[in-house]
Structure 1
Amino acid sequence: MRKISWMMPSVMISSLLLAGWSGLHLVADLWVNPARNLIKRLNDPSQSKNMKEIDPIWSDALSSLLSARLLVPGNAEYHMWNGWLHHRRAESLPYGSDATKGHLREAETAYSEALELRPSWGLLWVNRAQIRIRQGKKNEGAMADLQHAISFDPHNPHVLKQTLRLGFRLWPGMNAEDRRKFLLLVKENFHLMPHSTIDLAMRYGLLAQIRPFYAADPNFKALWDKKLGAGR
């Protein structure tokens, strides 16, 4: 009985802490509703076209999301949503404006905070690379972000396609070492999406760079010849 009596205060304290923790998360989840609803509308093509109706709710969504992040700073999803909303807001504003630059900075910070908590989320690395490219930081970590995206999330086809697309886009500004790393990334992963890799390389005029990877395997060489014509 004495042992049970001694344990009771500890159990009560643990229960109170658990209740407090649950309460914080419940309140935070309520705070993010405006942001969640805005994301839903932006992902709906029929609604996202009418930006005039959406514009007034941006500030409310971002401020409510800030409250949720302050309550539960360890929730990577909240930081990701914050980054995504700032990212989309920047895309809806005039290119190069001070407001656009501000939203891009906020998006990069938010994605970085989310990555500290969940580095295995490959799409976050891709998103941050997109932001850095938009800011003109093509040689300041964007290529490293793309490598991390594939390293942490190698089986996600969307991550792979976006990584290759951005890599081909970055090619003109890459130094020799970054080009070597990117081609190695393509070589190790093109077999997962051989058709799309050819299409992306063709779009950016880089077929010659990836031809050796297809030529080394009879099956992929046959695919290459079928899509582009023998001898190309």
Structure 2
Amino acid sequence: MPSSKLATRLPNELWDTILKYAKTFPASSFAREDDVPLEVLREKHSTVWNAIFKDDDWAKKASESGFNPALVGQNLYNLYECQDIRNSKPAYIALVVGGDITDVREILLNSLQPHTFLKSTKEVVFKDSKITLNIHDAWSWPDVIELKPRRLFSYRYKTLRSACLYWDDYSYSLYEVPATDVIGIGGIAPTLKKASFKCGLHLKKHKDQPQCFMDPKCPETLPILLEQEGIGWQQRRVG
């Protein structure tokens, strides 16, 4: 399947043919539950990715290595619905790869829209939008991505919430990351507090391994084996 960047370059005539053919399939295969037309979802998907990448050179390298890059963060809900991202609210997003492609990290920087790279925090601050992108995973492939996990979540009506957008996705959907897919210190993290220092996310298309995030000021923790969630953490007791 072509990336969103490539998709925006397809001639309108070809897209008309694709969309006409797509109508022979069940709507659930191509749209979210609210049955938004595929072409509308494609535009939303492309708008977000194009605000971050100016070309698809790095994404092609990731795909060739068998990875499907993803953006993670609750601010994606706003960006996905925004018609002009240049005037959108400030957004903090993490770029997740799920594997080692550090050999092409310079290509990553060259593929991004104009930005300032904060090497100490592995954050990219874009000049033409209010987006800050954490690229720690793509830059260093660490066991745990260092950032403040609470920046990836919202917590309203006693519900923990985040979102994920994949580069290569035929449905062009924005996926919810529910609280049941968030592992915090002590187990499933139904509250923001339990996910604030250290957490793992089970992403829809990265199910083989949870992506782990940790606040640089996280208290010392020990890995534990949870009955259903797999690996988790507990805070080390002092004394």
Greater helix proportion: 1
Q: Same fold (TM over 0.5)?
A: no
Structure number with higher relative contact order (C-alpha < 8 Å, ≥ 6 residues apart): 2
Larger strand proportion of the pair: 2
Q: TM-score, normalised by structure 1?
A: 0.27
